Amino acid sequence: AASRTPLMAGNWKMNLNHQEAVVLVQKLAWTLEDKKHTYSNAEVVVIPPFTDLRSVQTLIDGDRLKVKYGAQDVSVHDSGAYTGEVSAAMLSKLGVSYVVVGHSERREYHAETDAVVNAKAHKALAAGMTPIVCVGEGLDVRKAGEQVSYTLAQVEGSLAGFTAEQVAGLVVAYEPVWAIGTGEVATPEDAQEVCGAIRARVRELLGDEAADGLRVLYGGSVKSSNVVGIMAKDDVDGALVGGASLEAEEFAGICRFR
Ligand code: PEP
């Protein structure tokens, strides 16, 4: 993790309207600044619902806040007759820096395959945004002890067609599904096992530049009280945080991670 900039990303999921979003981002920025930017070695990203993005942009630009913002999904299409979809160009026009693709909730409830996730990641990157590509096994796979091979297959499918140079700038989030929103946190050793295996496979397939540049996040019930042990692991470069990102003090605590 040494030479890579830590990334702390808060996935709000379907929570907070645009007014509540502005309040939370203001509180978050204030809390981080109040502690004299002791978090400043981490990039801090909020990932609100689409409807909040314009308001968040206005606040962050207007107040020159250091917090960045991302989107929770993106269309595989560029434009046209795709009711309900939001394009990469629309997001990038709003100053969006990161796009979550293939979150386990999208894979499960919207049947997103690795091929769809891969197409979305390509759309995001082509529009100048960084995809946060989510992977991770369910409980049955974990119980069978197959978490590494299962997750590596998702990584290969989801990162297909990217060059080594592109992968060096990407983010992969390892989120064991059994640890998401359950209070069941993987141990730092569990996180390192799979995050390390992801980097090793990328090194094998694409070489040192890609493997050393790629940031691998852990996600699954991360809190300010357990983030330190997870961040101490060599191949964990940050966290994708759900529930704990909805409270300013708590998320700021995660962003400081010490
Ligand atoms: C997530 O869904 O990305 C997540 C990690 O959620 P939680 O932190 O609530 O487990």
Decide if 114 is inside a domain. Answer: yes
- pLDDT at res. 242: 97
Decide if 127 is inside a domain. Answer: yes
Distances (CA, A) of 170 to 63, 100, 141, 143, 214: 28, 11, 26, 29, 6
Please give the structure tokens belonging to residue 77: 């299409």
Distance 223 CA to ligand 1 centre (A): 10
Distances (CA, A) of 119 to 75, 106, 153, 161, 233: 9, 14, 16, 10, 31
Decide if 2 is inside a domain. Answer: no
CA-CA distance, 258 to 256, in Å (whole number)? 6
Distance 218 CA to ligand 1 centre (A): 10
Residue 161 gets which letter from DSSP? T
Q: How many CB atoms lie within 10 A of CB 66?
A: 14
| Placement of tokens 């913002």 in the chain | 69
CB 99 within 8 A of CB 70: yes
The stretches in the chain having pLDDT less than 70 are: 1-2, 35-40
Decide if 84 is inside a domain. Answer: yes
CA-CA distance, 68 to 19, in Å (whole number)? 18
Decide if 50 is inside a domain. Answer: yes
Q: Which residues participate in catalysis according to the annotation?
A: 103, 175
Decide if 225 is inside a domain. Answer: yes
Structural domain boundaries enclosing 81:
7-256
Atom 4 in ligand 1: residue holding the nearest Cα: 242
190-218 pLDDT, tens digit per residue, is: 999 999 999 999 999 999 999 999 999 99
Decide if 221 is inside a domain. Answer: yes
Please give the structure tokens belonging to residue 70: 């991302």
Domain count, the chain: 1
Closest by CA position to 219, among listed 195, 246, 239, 196: 239
Provide the CATH number for the domain around residue 182.
3.20.20.70
Has 70 been labeled as part of a binding site? no
How high is the ipTM of this complex? Answer: 0.94
- pLDDT at res. 34: 72
Decide if 1 is inside a domain. Answer: no
- pLDDT at res. 33: 83
